[in-house]
């Protein structure tokens, strides 16, 4: 294309020269300079167009449906994934569309009503799958969708839940409040995965926690910084800046090992775990709290019934995104886990995670 346009410019310039000066006249220096400048301009314009095409994608638009609010961890992950995926696979143009409500239920319900041939993708959180199973099995809430119609295919977000509070409180103090029935946590809906994690833990201490609902991790964290609740179970990204500023402190990692990476006003912070060698001192070392460790985050999902060709394409795109330094560095920058699970392995991972969530619920509700 570039050669053809350049040839056209040269031909036009030569024709103009011959018409003005006759066939025996040589091109002037001004004409030669004009031709050179025209070639440079055309080359620069074409390069810019190519760069824009690579950055925005020129092929089929693929919607990535995010069930959570703008600015939360799920949202920023979805947007980074879409950006990198479009760069690595410009045959698609990935765009993020918010579809909030019901702490993920609204998007899940709408997604299962789409035609299986859709190329839309859902950011499918473990918490939605947990609440689906609890609703169906224990009638904890009305569930208007069938999660078997959602097919998780590629992990994009694997997180360690962190329990945060204000600097004037401690883990031991939170446990005592829970025992007296006065502990409030910000969350999505009751029985969200953060509630299952913290609630099942406190149940072993003879305590309970009330969930104050907020839409998205950013709003949940703000509920704590505004003094409306006592604690917040959230991602590392959601409170990273507040911890660094000293507004919040991380007091427990829902993991079998300590969590490192936070920095506070006094330097590096190591967050104790609820199990293993790094168990928090305020917990009872004779107890097993591992049922409160639940997979957290989510995957990209297609509709059940999507063609094998589209499933394979989604998996390949995800693998290529994870292979980039840009995505891996981004995940590391917000202190999430570098975890990749694909295809049927991801489907099975959700099944195992849901079984663990049911056990956590039994513990929380006293049905063990």
- Contacts of 74-81 with CB under 8 Å at 24 or more apart are 74/123, 74/125, 74/157, 74/216, 74/217, 74/298, 75/216, 76/237, 76/334, 77/123, 77/156, 77/157, 77/336, 78/123, 78/156, 80/327, 80/330, 81/156, 81/300, 81/321, 81/327
Backbone region of residue 130 per phi and psi (left: phi > 0; alpha: psi in -120 to 50; beta: other values): alpha
Output the pLDDT for position 42. 47
| Local structure of 70: helix, strand or coil | coil
Q: Mean pLDDT in runs of 10 for the chain (368 residues)?
A: 37 36 39 46 43 55 95 94 98 97 95 97 98 97 97 98 97 97 91 96 96 85 94 94 97 97 96 97 96 97 98 98 98 97 98 98 90
Measured distance CA(44)–CA(20) in Å, rounded: 29
pTM score, whole prediction: 0.82
Output the pLDDT for position 324. 98
Measured distance CA(223)–CA(244) in Å, rounded: 18
In DSSP terms, which residues pair with 213 in a beta bridge? 187
Output the pLDDT for position 188. 84
Bridging pattern class, strands 259-264 and 121-125: unpaired
Output the pLDDT for position 21. 35
3-class secondary structure per residue, 276-328? CCCECCCCCCCCCCHHHCCCCEEEEEEECCCCHHHHHHHHHHHHHHHCCHHHH
Measured distance CA(361)–CA(252) in Å, rounded: 20
Q: Is the CA virtual torsion 311, 313, 314, 315 positive or negative?
A: positive
Can you list the domains of the chain with their CATH numbers?
2-50 (no CATH), 61-160+299-365 (3.40.190.150), 162-253+255-292 (3.40.190.10)
Measured distance CA(123)–CA(133) in Å, rounded: 18
Output the pLDDT for position 189. 86
Output the pLDDT for position 215. 78
Annotate 337-361 with DSSP letters as a single string. -----BHHHHHHHHHHHHHHHHHHH
């Amino acid at each position: 294309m570039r050669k053809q346009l350049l040839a056209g410019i040269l031909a036009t310039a030569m024709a103009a020269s011959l018409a003005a000066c006759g066939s025996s006249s040589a091109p002037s220096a001004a004409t030669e300079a004009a031709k050179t400048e025209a070639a440079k301009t055309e080359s620069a314009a074409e390069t810019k167009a190519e760069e824009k095409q690579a950055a925005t994608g020129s092929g089929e638009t693929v919607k990535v449906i995010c069930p959570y609010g703008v600015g939360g961890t799920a949202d920023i992950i979805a947007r980074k994934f879409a950006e990198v995926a479009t760069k690595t696979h410009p045959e698609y143009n990935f765009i993020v569309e918010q579809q909030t409500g019901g702490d993920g239920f609204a998007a899940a319900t709408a997604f299962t009503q789409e035609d299986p041939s859709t190329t839309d993708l859902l950011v499918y959180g473990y918490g939605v799958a947990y609440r689906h199973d609890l609703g169906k099995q224990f009638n904890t809430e009305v569930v208007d969708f069938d999660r078997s119609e959602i097919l998780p295919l590629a992990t994009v977000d694997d997180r360690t839940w962190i329990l945060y509070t204000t600097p004037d409180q401690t883990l031991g103090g939170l446990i005592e409040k829970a025992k007296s029935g006065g502990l409030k946590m910000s969350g999505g809906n009751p029985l969200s995965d953060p509630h299952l994690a913290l609630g099942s833990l406190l149940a072993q201490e003879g305590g309970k926690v009330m969930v104050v609902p907020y839409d998205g991790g950013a709003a949940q964290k703000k509920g704590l910084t505004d003094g409306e609740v006592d604690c917040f179970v959230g991602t590392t990204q959601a409170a990273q800046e507040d911890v660094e500023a000293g507004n919040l402190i991380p007091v427990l990692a829902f993991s079998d090992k300590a969590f490192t990476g936070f920095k506070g006003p006094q330097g590096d912070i190591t967050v104790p775990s609820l199990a293993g060698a790094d168990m928090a001192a305020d917990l009872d070392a004779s107890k097993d709290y591992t049922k409160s460790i639940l997979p957290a985050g989510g995957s990209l999902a297609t509709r059940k019934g999507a063609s094998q060709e589209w499933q394979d394409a989604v998996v390949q795109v995800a693998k290529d995104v994870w292979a980039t330094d840009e995505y891996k560095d981004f995940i590391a920058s917000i202190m999430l886990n570098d975890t990749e699970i694909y295809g049927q392995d991801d489907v099975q991972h959700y099944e195992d995670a849901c079984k663990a969530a049911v056990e956590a619920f039994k513990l929380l509700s006293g049905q063990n």
